[in-house]
Chain A
Amino acid sequence: MLIDTFLYNFGQYILLLKSAIAKPERFSMYYKETVRQMDAIGVGSVFIVLLISVFIGMVTAVQFADQLGDSFIPSYYIGYIVRDITIIEMAPTITCLVLAGKVGSNLAAEIGGMRQKEHIDAMEIMGVNTAAYLIMPKVIAAVLVIPLLVAISAFVSIIGGYLATVLPGSISHTEYVLGLRSFFVPRYVFIMFVKAGVFAFLLTSVSCYFGYYVKGGSIELGEASTSAVVVSNVLILLFDFIIALLLT
């Protein structure tokens, strides 16, 4: 039963993506919608991303500072650890998990609401490819904007680590900066952007899928929104593991 449901949903998701990849009826309309979504997803999420990123950096730095406290490992390693752990894992994964909650639920509710109010039927009857018009701009906007948010998140997390360790005097400014500048592997930044792009695609396309096929009333819309967030989160973690296996 569970496998049947999974296969049915997976097949329908692939078919929806296939319909969504189509030549736009009017390029300018798709462009306008993409820009609107970039604003909604990107600018609309900056504050929450800044907030969580500061705390990610602070917590990471404080906990590693505590663990390294009595060891022979030089304390400047805190900056190094905060930098790498933020770039490889925390910034892309935590940011996208949070965005799956904020953006994903919003997209599922927006498209689901349009389905319930017959807006999607109205567009279909006008001759609009609704899968393309409603989904493609959102996915493109997210894939362009979320990696930028993740880069901001990594930067702010490193600042958060600095604030949490240098200001209270756990380590010095010089040590933290030395750590940040030590053993840098540029490929980790590439991995961060790969993760961010893949997670952005997953969280938007999956959320749009749940909204697009919603049936029933407000309870079903709420369930679709919840499913969008839960499934997006599980897929983000699954693909986090797959990318880690493939790229490290």
Chain B
Amino acid sequence: MIRTENLHKSFGDNHVLKGVSAEFHAGKPNLIIGSSGAGKTVLLKLLIGLFRPSEGAVFYGDTNLFSLDDKDIRSIRMKVGMLFQGNALFDSMTVGENIRFPMDMFTRLSLKDKNRRVDECLEMVNMEGINDRYPSEVSGGMQKRVGIARAMVLEPKYLFCDEPNSGLDPQTSILIDELICDLTNRNNITTVINTHDMNSVMGIGDNILLLKNGKVAWTGDKSQVLESDNKVLEDFIFASPFLRRLREDALKQRQGG
């Protein structure tokens, strides 16, 4: 489990996070949602330790990430996988080399074993046989899957996904969500997903944290979204008239049923 306590983060005069306390549980997807500028990415980067907080703490189990020195932070990061919004695949390496990179860096496995693990990871994301292709030679959705495969290669205990659905069509988005959800459940990983995709919220939102102006505006799960009377949540999730009508219909059906 990952826990934050009263997290504050400022950049000069810009106070981005204003006392965020939250818990992210193992074995189910934890979603951070909110409009642009709400502080989602900053929170995610604080959770990984890419930023240091102005105030507050991030706990991995009982260990405060920011009480550790650089070397110990790196040892925690070796248990972390991350899927970046832009995938961050090394474009001078093939897909196979990208996935093998963490193993090359941190394991003493033979090349044969490493390549076998690469094949396993590609199979896990249904991308067999693209080892020798370069990231620029595969589609955006395939790059996301390769990013997930690379994040999973060292069997992480924590998985962070920054906007995993950005730039993808709705069908591919759902496939990526299902894949992340499946890997999380199967490997009992603590997964934190930063998104503003409504399909993800309603599909895999087992623990949702809504941010507004750097503060936690609402927490709950997907089953509570429809009936919540939280104004911030309502304005964010059901922003379009179409979704608002769908919600009203769903609520009427429930009341009728």
Residues of A at the B interface (CB closer than 8 Å) are: 19, 25-26, 28-29, 117-119, 121-122, 124-129
The reply to whether B90 and A126 contact each other, CB–CB distance below 8 Å, is no
The reply to whether B84 and A25 contact each other, CB–CB distance below 8 Å, is no
Minimum CB–CB distance for A79 against chain B, Å: 47
Interface size, chain B (Cβ < 8 Å) = 23
Closest to A121 in B: B50
B171 in the interface (beta carbon within 8 A): no
Partner of A127, one of B50, B78, B85, B160: B78
Complex CA gap A29/B86 in Å reads 25
The reply to whether A125 and B105 contact each other, CB–CB distance below 8 Å, is no
Check A127/B106 contact, CB under 8 A, given A117-B88, A119-B90, A121-B50.
yes
The reply to whether A29 and B88 contact each other, CB–CB distance below 8 Å, is no
* Residues of B contacting A26 in the complex (Cβ-Cβ under 8 angstroms): 104-106
Residues of B at the A interface (CB closer than 8 Å) are: 48, 50, 70, 74-75, 77-78, 80-82, 84-86, 88, 90-91, 101-102, 104-106, 154, 160
The reply to whether B84 and A126 contact each other, CB–CB distance below 8 Å, is no
The reply to whether A122 and B75 contact each other, CB–CB distance below 8 Å, is no
Partner of A126, one of B70, B85, B86, B102: B102
Check A124/B84 contact, CB under 8 A, given A25-B106, A26-B104.
no
The reply to whether A126 and B78 contact each other, CB–CB distance below 8 Å, is yes
* Residues of B contacting A127 in the complex (Cβ-Cβ under 8 angstroms): 74-75, 77-78, 80, 105-106
* Residues of A contacting B90 in the complex (Cβ-Cβ under 8 angstroms): 119, 122
Minimum CB–CB distance for A109 against chain B, Å: 14
Closest to A125 in B: B82
Closest to A118 in B: B88
Complex CA gap A117/B143 in Å reads 14
Minimum CB–CB distance for B218 against chain A, Å: 28
Complex CA gap A117/B89 in Å reads 9
